[in-house]
Structure 1
């Protein structure tokens, strides 16, 4: 298994079924349906879940596609109500990553999903960092946090969040992100311009969800308005030759998640996904899971599917692994060590 990084994975999308069941029991919360079908996308047709209306004590996770999925995350993350529970989820994330050969992760956390922590977002970051600290001490995957805004938030809310991050400097928060449904929120680059420029001035890296449910214009906005270091998804850049050339010329990496794009209906199947065309065009591409638990996948499994579908050989996968490390927000020393480890695995006979 090749050592690698993962740069586009949401903590909200890594809760295993056992995590959810334990949290629900601890909090006396009812499940939104039978435990056996919570993550059953074949039953729910790409997260199209029946609306649940049972008197207000049981959350509805209804809706279709990405919007319905985001509502499910709201319910799930609402089960995390104590510092200990948050730390446990973070530790479990690092263990899951390690099992897929992931040595480093930029994990995206969007506090708007964690409704028990509204107004206490920094405390949530600190609780998660405690779990990640323990995981690293135990030899598991190193992980840092990309604090994510939601597209529907206001410019003022975004600016306040960044000012608080810059003032408090919570442990392991290394980047600012923005996620959510592009199609329903419309173009938000201009709205968040001030917040992202403030984050840049404060030394935070920037990663932006764009070019997923909307077209290439979202990627243009991420580059022009938000000074993105990396684009999460970005796959619809392939529809704009000028944009593809800019991504190549400016060496902007994409955090691509083929299974997510297919499951949520952006592309019909893996074969029609533009991943190989982006690679052939010279774009820096990394392979990621996005939300592995509800998508019922792991990173090593998705790499195997990509290899089988697109004919990637071991040398190609080594290049993907190296790109994932270079595109990450790990510090330079860790990147150097991980690249050296990868080189030793890729060519065991090479001099160290």
Structure 2
């Protein structure tokens, strides 16, 4: 990254929320090797440097292949606690006050890891982060869209004893060829259970997938949504409904969704009145946690301090916190901005 600027310093202290973070995607190579050794799991890399060298993706599937290989080292409750707490330490260092994190139970249960082991470990990390770091959080169960809806239903059924730990469900993994409509019934079932709904749409998939997520899944939040900018009627609708988009700049760059950060649509999204937030997605793999996403994008596209402040306010407004909790955190952003 280029030399630090006054705006970087401002971003560093800015209170913010992170709304698009895959906890498995925060698995740093050092922890991957430590857990592989402890759990006697073979991984296809012989050093931390070899793992980092493999993080040269040309598309989403290239990334997912490495992502699933890395997840294989996660086997015990303690592994998941370590994973979660390691993320929260980095989030706290970036002044993330609240995080809503995705986890992919099917990635683990398909390997024979019990659902409860995954959830109990993550919750232990979440509880520790709240007590020791002051970071609040919520857990979002994500369905893998390359699997069937019946498998998603089975996962939702397995989740029922742990529902009190979740704030919502999501939809991730390979987007192209797996439209949101494939999961219409299971999202309706999740909504009936009182869960919030979000879905990855419009990252590699077309604007039609965003329409489906809105009209068929009735989501509360869109993850990514970049390709919405190709559809004028969709832009107008998203702006009118103030539908939150959880955009991930460094992920978009690494996965070649944009060729250069200078081409990123966030400035145009803001100009068109869209409710955009900045997030890190899978930060171990994509080269930066949330502050890096703010700083590198700001430098590339020339974001102003006022725009950066608005993005932070959007992050709390777009969260699944209560109205009162949102107001408290947004007032912290405003107080910080007034002092700066």
User: What TM-score do you get using the length of structure 1 for normalisation?
Assistant: 0.88
Verify the 8 A CA contact 1:129 1:171 in the aligned structure 2: no
Verify the 8 A CA contact 1:187 1:218 in the aligned structure 2: no
Structure 1 CA distance for aligned equivalents of residues 122 and 191 of structure 2 = 23
Structure 2 CA distance for aligned equivalents of residues 21 and 119 of structure 1 = 19
Among candidates 35, 55, 69, match of residue 75 of structure 1: 69
Residue number in structure 2 paired with 1:237: 228
Counterparts in 2 of 1:334 and 1:39: CA distance versus 1, 3 Å: farther
Residue number in structure 2 paired with 1:217: 208
SS of 1:114's equivalent in the other structure is helix
Verify the 8 A CA contact 2:43 2:69 in the aligned structure 1: no
SS of 2:30's equivalent in the other structure is helix
Counterparts in 2 of 1:45 and 1:250: CA distance versus 1, 3 Å: same
Residue number in structure 1 paired with 2:9: none
Verify the 8 A CA contact 1:111 1:118 in the aligned structure 2: no
User: What TM-score do you get using the length of structure 2 for normalisation?
Assistant: 0.91
Residue number in structure 2 paired with 1:264: 255
SS of 2:222's equivalent in the other structure is strand
Structure 2 CA distance for aligned equivalents of residues 205 and 11 of structure 1 = 18
Residue number in structure 2 paired with 1:33: 45
More helix by share: 2
Structure 2 CA distance for aligned equivalents of residues 143 and 3 of structure 1 = 14
Verify the 8 A CA contact 1:77 1:115 in the aligned structure 2: no
Within-5 A mapping of 1:73-112: 73-112=67-106
| Cα shift at 1:38 | 4.1
Verify the 8 A CA contact 1:39 1:295 in the aligned structure 2: no
Unaligned runs of 5+ in 1: 48-63
Q: Deviations over 1:55-105 (max 9, x none)?
A: xxxxxxxxx532121121212111111111111111111111111111111
Compute the RMSD of aligned alpha carbons. 1.9
| Cα shift at 1:114 | 2.3
Counterparts in 2 of 1:38 and 1:108: CA distance versus 1, 3 Å: farther
Among candidates 259, 266, 269, match of residue 278 of structure 1: 269
Verify the 8 A CA contact 2:106 2:155 in the aligned structure 1: no
Residue number in structure 1 paired with 2:243: 252
Residues paired across the two proteins, number: 328
Q: Deviations over 1:195-252 (max 9, x none)?
A: 1111112111111001011110110111011111111110000000011111111111
| Cα shift at 1:2 | 0.3
SS of 1:191's equivalent in the other structure is helix
Within-5 A mapping of 1:136-151: 136-151=130-145
Q: Deviations over 1:17-43 (max 9, x none)?
A: 221121011012334223233443xx4
Within-5 A mapping of 1:159-178: 159-165=153-159, 167-178=160-171
Structure 1 CA distance for aligned equivalents of residues 112 and 43 of structure 2 = 22
Structure 1 CA distance for aligned equivalents of residues 141 and 204 of structure 2 = 21
Greater CA drift, 119-128 or 77-86: 119-128
Counterparts in 2 of 1:254 and 1:343: CA distance versus 1, 3 Å: same
Structure 1 CA distance for aligned equivalents of residues 290 and 33 of structure 2 = 23
Verify the 8 A CA contact 1:80 1:116 in the aligned structure 2: no
Within-5 A mapping of 1:1-352: 1-40=13-52, 43-44=53-54, 46-47=56-57, 65-114=59-108, 118=112, 120-165=114-159, 167-183=160-176, 186-348=177-339
| Cα shift at 1:116 | 7.0
Unaligned runs of 5+ in 2: 1-12
Counterparts in 2 of 1:333 and 1:262: CA distance versus 1, 3 Å: same
Structure 1 CA distance for aligned equivalents of residues 305 and 316 of structure 2 = 17
| Cα shift at 1:336 | 2.5
Structure 1 CA distance for aligned equivalents of residues 324 and 81 of structure 2 = 26
